[in-house]
Amino acid sequence: MSRLGFNNKSVVYHGEACLGELDVIPTADKTFHFPNNEIRIHHFSQLSERCPPLSVLLAISSLPVRCKLESSSPVKQPLLDLHAACFYELKTAVVVIGDEEVHLVAMPSKLKRFPCFWCCLVPSRLYNACLGMLNMRCLSIVFDLDETLIVANTMRSFEDRIEVLTGWIGQESDPVRVSGMTSELKRYVEDRALLKQYAENDVVTDSGQTYNVKLEDVPVNAAGNERVQRPVIRLPEKNVVLTRINPEIRDTSVLVRLRPAWEDLRSYLIAKGRKRFEVFVCTMAERDYALEMWRLLDPGAHLIGPKQLLTRVVCVKSGARKSLLNVFQDRNCHPRMAMVIDDRLKVWEEKDQPRVHVVPAFTPYYAPQAETASAVPVLCVARNVACNVRGGFFKEFDENLIRRVSEHFHEDEVLNLPPAPDVCNYLMSEDASFVPNGNTSAPMADGMNGPEVTQRLNQQDARNVDLKSERSQPLVPTASIYGPPSFRSMMPSDKPSLLGPIQGPEIASRQRAGYHPLSHGIASSFSAGIQPLISEPKNDEVFHGYGLQKKNLQQAGQPSDVGVPHNPPFLNNKRGPTDSGNSNLLQPSLSVGVLQEIGQRCGSKVEYRSILSSSRDWPFSYEVLFTGEKVGVGMGKTRKDAQQQAAENALRSLADKYVAHVISQSETVKKDPDNEVENGFLWESDADESPVKDASEVAEMRRSSNSTGQLVQKLPRSVEVSPDSKRVITCRMGW
């Protein structure tokens, strides 16, 4: 398109027929004009059932109206017919300019000066796609796969996780932690046994019942042209499916656990034969694997049709961020009309993050009861969120946008047009900065994810692959407050393996020999010289977007003798705190942070559970559970306010219990200064920081517990809880 000048008149053509001449009145974009001052109509848009064309164009373009067309000379009848047809049939005349479309929208006129049009510019094909969705009251929803909807493992990944857990159990002295890890290990071993039966014999025996494989047709694969059959065993009672990515290679056998309540969410999306959402998948997994995982989730191809599958299942390369523009590269939806279901936020482009509903990672081995512990399962919450988003979007679209657009005339100012609805305005997700106990995930990933899938399926014998060849990004450490040490890639594109160290001389000898149990498929988390847990200061600087502590970067850049950083700090969470000036996430309140710190130091779980509110003025209500016991309740006008209030009340309750315990034990406290551990607490050894010794100090602490700020200053200076013990508070204090 030439931008060398502007002519106020352009000739209108439909095909080769000349319809007449119209004046071009510029609006916001003074440089826009039609090539050669000719308006050549290429085609007409689809007829709209209910939505005025201008409302659709406003919904899919940030600056839709580029100019106005009107006539200052005697008008020819063909132009009047063009205007009438577009106006009454709710369609537009489309002029194609390069890879964009200019839609001529017929407008009413206060002065009865017909014909008159507004010209709106949008990417080609986008208008028809969004028009159909808006007419059907349909939005788009984008799903992640691994740890969001499924957890999958091969024999190799099972063996790695079993090996790591066995090592952890051998080094752990706390019987509570040993019991938890032993239960987790048992679940891995049981599923590995099922997968082994399937991989070797195509038969599975479970609970005395034998299941044989059934050959299932795969209509579409990554090549897009071959029809294959896969041997599949489904165990619906366990939400387990066994499949083989490459039917000819038994080593590609995979055991897949489907997230509970997926059927409820899937049924909502297609209830009564009417699509409420157009479905897409965006994953970092290998393509054949991603297509098969989605086939298992949608066996009847009701959510994504076979002809759409190859374009709607989008696989992102390792190191790249997910993007809605990339998901909609065929221009079948606008990002404003889409929401995302994912267990991680930072893997998405910043501009798309407000449209992401973040769900807790699916951990069927580490926390099998997590999905059923809440009154509403995770995917049912996601379904409710999607329902609210859809309702809020179309309420705004119908009652505000369409109504106000119908009141506009050709002579009105373009700047007075109403704003377009956006999914992010109705996505009422939980505060992403809130992390119960500071822990967003299990100490290690329950299944394969991201680039690990490709390595597991394509490099089965790569036991000693050089770490530098596994990842193109430099490895940098992140902070952690729970679980063994680990590290991950700087870019948040790969889901972390979270596999920590196994301490002991036998591991050191393996490291010196160059043996890394996890080096095939995912970067090993074993490193020489790993240090014990050290509490990090709360005011450390963080990098914007990734939550990586600046002070650790130099340390991470120093290579060790096994090709990984020395002394990597601990993994904190997938979505660490970001720069407050550049993030739309609010930092947790002081009370929430202190409660998380107490839970961390005690090795206890802090949970926030939503409950029904009894007040109309305070619609949100939360209770706080500390190791399963309710210690506080809070209400507020927002989820964040309710959680903060609940945390403050919980702190007061815990402080009262602590003071009561100290009073009852004050006479029996040993006075031996060499004994560092007293009544389950590890007292600080500084001379000016002494433990509670008399009733006067206890009374002072009771008075201080009435103020959250005073409590924060008092407790950390008075006691130091051993990070290696889970029983300090729960067992010895009876909480």
- Residues 625-658: pLDDT tens digits? 887 788 888 888 787 888 888 888 988 888 888 7
Pick 348 or 456 by higher pLDDT. Answer: 348
**Does the pLDDT value for residue 686 go beyond 80?**
no
User: DSSP H helical segments within 548-602, as ranges?
Assistant: 553-556, 590-602
The answer to whether 547 and 579 have CB atoms below 8 angstroms apart is: no
**What is the separation of C-alpha 82 from the centre of its chain, rounded to a whole number of angstroms?**
48
Q: Is 358 helix (H, G, I), strand (E, B) or coil?
A: strand
472-526 pLDDT per residue, tens: 333 333 332 233 333 333 333 344 332 333 333 333 333 333 333 333 333 333 2
The answer to whether 455 and 518 have CB atoms below 8 angstroms apart is: no
DSSP per residue over 25-86, as a string?
EE-S-TT---GGGEEEE-EEPPPPSSS-HHHHHHHH-SS-EEEEEE-SSPPPHHHHHHHHHH
Q: How many residues does the chain have?
A: 735
CATH 2.40.290 assigned to domain 9-125? The reply is yes
Sequence ranges of the domains in the chain? 9-125, 590-718
Q: Is 122 helix (H, G, I), strand (E, B) or coil?
A: strand
The answer to whether 150 and 281 have CB atoms below 8 angstroms apart is: no
Quick one: pLDDT at residue 720?
A: 39
Quick one: pLDDT at residue 225?
A: 59
543-600 pLDDT per residue, tens: 333 333 333 333 333 333 333 333 333 333 333 333 333 333 334 457 887 887 787 7
Q: Is 411 exposed, middle or buried (0-12, 13-18, 19+ CB in 10 A)?
A: middle
**Who contacts 688 (Cβ-Cβ below 8 Å, separation ≥6)?**
none
Peptide bond into 377 cis (omega under 30): no
The letter for the amino acid at 6 is F
- Report the half-sphere exposure of 59 (CA within 13 A, side-chain side): 34
Q: Could you tell me the pLDDT band of residue 660, with boundaries at 50, 70 and 90?
A: confident
CA geometry: angle 644, 645, 648, nearest 5 deg? 90
Spell out the CATH class of 590-718. Answer: alpha beta
- Report the half-sphere exposure of 42 (CA within 13 A, side-chain side): 13
Measured distance CA(355)–CA(598) in Å, rounded? 33
DSSP per residue over 412-442, as a string?
S-GGGSPPPP-GGGT-----TT--GGG--S-
Q: Could you tell me the pLDDT band of residue 605, with boundaries at 50, 70 and 90?
A: confident
64-97 pLDDT per residue, tens: 788 999 987 778 899 999 999 999 999 999 999 9
**Who contacts 629 (Cβ-Cβ below 8 Å, separation ≥6)?**
735
Measured distance CA(115)–CA(282) in Å, rounded? 46
Q: Could you tell me the pLDDT band of residue 207, with boundaries at 50, 70 and 90?
A: confident
Bridge partners (DSSP) of residue 122 are 101
pTM here? Answer: 0.63
The answer to whether 191 and 255 have CB atoms below 8 angstroms apart is: yes
